[in-house]
């Protein structure tokens, strides 16, 4: 089961395999995601692992092994106005 949850603080995100997981704040800063664009819900797996962060993508720890099938996720916020 998947769930969308708001940020609570303290979440760790690994952007690339072989790189350490870092706080979402640091990952957003490194990716130049503006503060106003960081409010989207986070996607978690049934085991509580962070899977996807809008503006950053899929956590590297949730990626399939090379040669294995991988689902693709794309975040499309609803238009405003």
Which pTM value belongs to this model? 0.83
Residue by residue, DSSP assigns 14-79 as: --STTSPPEEHHHHHHHTT--GGG--SPEEE-TTS-EEEETTTEE-GGGSPPTTS--------PPP
Q: How far is CA 70 from CA 8, 44, 49, 65, in A?
A: 28, 16, 17, 8
Q: Tens digit of pLDDT for each residue in 12-68?
A: 999 999 999 999 999 999 999 999 989 889 999 989 999 999 999 999 999 999 999
């Amino acid at each position: 089961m998947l769930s969308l949850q708001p940020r609570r603080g303290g979440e760790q995100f690994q952007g690339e395999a072989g790189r350490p997981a870092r706080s979402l704040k640091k990952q957003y800063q490194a990716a130049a995601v503006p503060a106003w664009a960081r409010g989207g819900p986070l996607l978690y797996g049934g085991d509580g692992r962070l899977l996807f962060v809008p503006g950053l993508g899929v956590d590297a720890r949730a990626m399939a092994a090379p040669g294995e099938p991988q689902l693709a996720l794309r975040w499309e916020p609803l238009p405003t106005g």
